[in-house]
Homo-oligomer: A and B are copies of this chain.
C-alpha cells in the first residue's frame, strides 16, 4: 500500500528509536525502544509522509521529525491507555505497565509526549504545527473522558457516536494529513482538502474497527468478540439495532448493564447480527471513503493520489 513511501518509513524507524533514547538513563531508553518497536502500523506518520510528498516543496529531511512526532504522540497515548485499562498485552507484546509497572509506564508516556514536542520545537515548523499537536493531545484526552462518561449509557444519538470517534481517531488522521501537506509546501486550500481526506478515512477507519468487534469471531480478531459491548462502548451497529430490532428493549437492558455476563454479551451480539446494523455501519464507512477519494486536491501528483486512494480501499477491506 505504501510503496511510494517505503524507504521513508524505514528511515522513520531509526528516527523513532533515536527520539526515545535518553543519554541519561538506560532504563528510559529500554522502555522507549520497547514501546516504539512493538508493532505499530505507522498509519499516522505514513499519512503525514504521503501528504507531504504531494506538496511542491517536499523534503524528506524536513518531514521525518514531524512524522516521528505524530507516531510518538500515538505511542504515548496508548501507553497511558494501557495503564488505565490495566492491559497486559498490545499487538502481542507486553505493555509497559505489565513489563515494568504503572510508575514506569506513566512517566515513560510523559517522556514520549515531551520528546514529540521537542522534535517539533527543534525543527522550525512554526507555531501552527506545535499548536495543532497540542490541540491533538488535548482532544485525545477529552475524547477519552467523554467516552468514559458515555459508557453503559447507550445514548441513542448517532451524533454522539460520530463526535466521539472523531475525537478518538478522525481528528488525529486529519492532523497528520493537514500538517504533512503544509510541511510539503501545499497552500492552505489544498492542505484543507487533505485534512478532509484524513478526517474521512479516520471516520471510516474507526467505524470498520468497531464493526470487527461485532462481525468477526474471537479467533479472527485475537480478543473476545463483543469486547466493546462488554466495556459499555456502544458502536454504530448496536445503535442501529437499538433503533430497528424487535428485541431492542432486551438489547438496551444488556448494553446498559455494567454487570453483564458473557451470556448476555453473546445474546447482544446475536440480536445485533440479526439486524442490518453491520450493513448500515458498513455503508456509512463506504460513504466516508468515497468522500475521502473525492476530496483529494486536483494538483496531487498521480502516484500520490493513487496511494491515497489505495489507503482508502485498504481501510474498506478491513484486512488489518
Interface residues of chain A, those whose CB is within 8 Å of chain B, are: 22, 24-25, 27-28, 77, 80, 83-84, 102-104, 106-111, 113-115, 117-118, 120-122, 124, 127-128, 130-131, 133-138, 140-142, 144-146, 148-149
- Measured in the bound complex, the distance between the Cα atoms of B120 and A121 in whole Å is 11
Which chain B residue shows the least CB distance to A108? B141
B84→A113 contact, CB < 8 A: no
A118→B138 contact, CB < 8 A: yes
A110→B27 contact, CB < 8 A: no
Q: Which residues of B contact A122 (CB under 8 A)?
A: 127, 131
- Measured in the bound complex, the distance between the Cα atoms of B148 and A28 in whole Å is 12
28 contacts between A and B (CB under 8 A): A22-B142, A24-B142, A25-B146, A25-B149, A27-B149, A28-B142, A83-B106, A84-B102, A84-B103, A103-B148, A107-B141, A109-B110, A110-B141, A111-B138, A113-B113, A114-B135, A114-B136, A114-B141, A117-B117, A117-B130, A117-B137, A118-B131, A118-B135, A118-B138, A121-B128, A121-B130, A122-B131, A124-B127
Q: Which residues of B contact A130 (CB under 8 A)?
A: 117, 120-121, 130
- Measured in the bound complex, the distance between the Cα atoms of B103 and A133 in whole Å is 22
B115→A113 contact, CB < 8 A: no
Nearest-Cβ distance from residue A83 to partner chain B, whole angstroms? 6
- Measured in the bound complex, the distance between the Cα atoms of B137 and A137 in whole Å is 15
Q: Which residues of B contact A142 (CB under 8 A)?
A: 22, 24-25, 28, 111
- Measured in the bound complex, the distance between the Cα atoms of B86 and A317 in whole Å is 44
Give the number of times this chain occurs in the complex, counting copies: 2
Q: Which residues of B contact A103 (CB under 8 A)?
A: 84, 144, 148
A114→B102 contact, CB < 8 A: no
Q: Which residues of B contact A128 (CB under 8 A)?
A: 121
Q: Across chains A and B, which 4 residue pairs bring their CB atoms closest together, nearest first? A: A121-B131, A114-B137, A118-B134, A114-B138
Give the contacting residue for A84; candidates B28, B107, B134; CB below 8 A: B107
Contact A27-B145, Cβ < 8 Å, known A113-B113, A131-B121: yes
B120→A137 contact, CB < 8 A: no
Q: Which residues of B contact A131 (CB under 8 A)?
A: 118, 121-122
Contact A115-B134, Cβ < 8 Å, known A27-B145, A110-B140: yes
- Measured in the bound complex, the distance between the Cα atoms of B102 and A117 in whole Å is 24
Contact A104-B148, Cβ < 8 Å, known A110-B141, A137-B114: yes
Nearest-Cβ distance from residue A158 to partner chain B, whole angstroms? 18
Q: Which residues of B contact A148 (CB under 8 A)?
A: 103-104
Q: Which residues of B contact A83 (CB under 8 A)?
A: 102, 106
Which chain B residue shows the least CB distance to A124? B127
Nearest-Cβ distance from residue A244 to partner chain B, whole angstroms? 30
